[in-house]
Chains A and B, each alone.
Chain A
């Protein structure tokens, strides 16, 4: 009798354990880029309203998100950079959700209106130190950036090819801080997500192209990065996740994406 009871207990325990392991059908878990919090938050809310499926979001960073999806810890990984070749070779697939333009910002009184990518890179590497070398007044350039690990910094440095070689005067921990600092220093230059640029700073044109939704989408504005949904190629998506992918293709979803300040992909 005792044996049967203990066997039963074990069986029940195993069943409940297994039940705990299978991912809950009802929710879609996402994990990754902190830069995408705004757009994923807005999409998740609308998605839940429409389908009743909850969307969980774990803000860890692009690298961790990609790692999480390849380890199967979440349904969709969020990355604010395109996948590297080796990541794609590891069986990951990328769906571009939106494009985020990174604006190069200066103080509104700064006479410089335009820089090309090469000059921006040189300024950030410390090879050009004075505004007069790029057509401004004679003043030292104050280079403002984000902290190591920030998605915006990663995006900016990979686009301008200045990884690990940037010579910052200040490394700030939020977009708001960058805008405030650049807005209060006439000799400063900084970068921030286009959506958050305010009137207290001016966005430069890059190679003559003004940052805007249209120029980001057609690729003429070069300082931009994709917001990518990362999935596993061989693993089948859960039903809820499939529904989410259908949802982001709708016009309503596109509108929501635009409202958060980034440019929807298709």
Chain B
């Protein structure tokens, strides 16, 4: 019964998004909307092109994955296989805490510490940029990646590792050539989960990315799909093309998340089949 409520919510949101998202796409034109390069929703002659947002979301997420996955992955291998109990419990507690920090706090710290330091280190006029967003996102997805990877690595049967050690492989060889391949679908799921978190994050990104609808570039101010919706929703008048276009952006974002979810399910299924 309670499960039905969840299903009902998902269905309701999906239908609502599709119904409210499609009219604007139809009015603006599918190609013009998805591949238009200029977003000026309140101009006298408004233009609604969301290509900059889509690319920014993809680049930002990819950047966060490139930064976050190696760190998260090695941390997970270390914690699961090498670290002693005491170290592991301390670091795990820290990781859990990191997962519990609200995103607005990440944004605030990013705004007050990260943005000014990017400005100084790279001597650019302003630090609010795609890079700042990538760094914040990378930190935010770390707990997801670490926790899910640890679970996957812990689940590798000890016999595999014992066999490898008995054959004369060093512990490090064993971890990377036996344990990690055995846990690879779980680790892949961790990465996908990280992608999902990064692409859906709005608050923290809104505070450090500058929110101007530029085409993405590392040191330019950029706007993500999420922040595009969040920053204009409050002021758009109901029923206007602007509001409808925001719903269309949400629909595009939703499709991205559905894709990621499908990928996640695919990896998890593969894990079970083994």
Contacts and interface: CB of A to CB of B under 8 A. Distances in A.
Interface of A: 34, 60-61, 63-64, 67, 139-142, 147-150, 163-164, 168-173, 177, 180-181, 184-185, 187-188
A188 B221 CA distance: 14
Given A139-B125, A141-B125, A148-B232, 13 more contacts: A63-B237, A148-B231, A149-B42, A149-B236, A149-B242, A169-B126, A170-B128, A170-B221, A171-B212, A172-B211, A181-B115, A184-B116, A185-B116
Interface of B: 40-44, 111-112, 115-116, 119, 125-128, 206-207, 210-212, 221, 223, 230-232, 234-238, 242
With most chain A CB atoms within 10 A of its CB, the pick from B127, B230, B234 is B234
Contacts, number: 79
Q: Most chain-B Cβ atoms within 10 A of its Cβ — which of A64, A142, A171, A181?
A: A171
Contacts of A187: 125-126
A81 to B, nearest CB: 14
A60 B40 CA distance: 20
A173 B211 contact: yes
A164 B119 contact: no
Contacts of B207: 177
Contacts of A172: 211
Nearest to A59: B234
A67 B112 CA distance: 39
Given A147-B211, A177-B207, A164 B43 contact: yes
B44 A164 contact: yes
A64 B235 CA distance: 9
25 contacts: A60-B237, A61-B235, A139-B125, A142-B125, A142-B126, A147-B235, A148-B40, A148-B41, A148-B232, A150-B235, A164-B40, A164-B42, A168-B212, A169-B210, A169-B212, A169-B221, A170-B212, A171-B211, A171-B221, A173-B231, A180-B111, A184-B115, A185-B116, A185-B126, A187-B126
Contacts of A164: 40, 42-44
B40 to A, nearest CB: 7
A61 B237 contact: yes
Contacts of A173: 206, 211, 230-231
B126 A34 contact: no
B116 to A, nearest CB: 5
A139 B234 CA distance: 35
A64 B126 contact: no
Contacts of B116: 184-185
Contacts of B128: 169-170, 181
Contacts of A163: 44
Q: Which 5 A-B pairs have the closest CB atoms?
A: A149-B235, A170-B210, A140-B125, A148-B42, A164-B43
A148 B116 CA distance: 25
A112 to B, nearest CB: 16
Nearest to B223: A171
A171 B235 contact: no
A194 to B, nearest CB: 21
Nearest to B238: A64
B210 A171 contact: yes
Nearest to A130: B125
A26 B238 CA distance: 28
A3 to B, nearest CB: 42
B234 A188 contact: no
Given A61-B237, A64-B237, A171-B211, A180 B112 contact: yes
Nearest to B220: A169
Contacts of B236: 149
Nearest to A141: B125
Given A163-B44, A170-B211, A173-B206, A34 B125 contact: no
Nearest to B41: A148
Nearest to B230: A173
A172 B221 CA distance: 11
Nearest to A177: B207
A34 B235 contact: yes
B44 A171 contact: no
B156 to A, nearest CB: 46
Contacts of A139: 125
Given A147-B235, A150-B235, A170 B44 contact: no
Question: In this complex, which of B42, B43, B207 has the most chain A Cβ atoms within 10 angstroms of its Cβ?
Answer: B42
A171 B125 contact: no
A66 to B, nearest CB: 10
Contact of A147 (B111, B125, B231): B231
Contacts of B119: 185
A140 B232 CA distance: 28
A185 B234 CA distance: 27
A188 B44 CA distance: 27
Nearest to A129: B125
A169 B119 CA distance: 13
A140 B219 CA distance: 14
Specify which of A147, A168, A184, A185 lies most central, judged by the most chain B CB atoms within 10 Å of its CB. A147
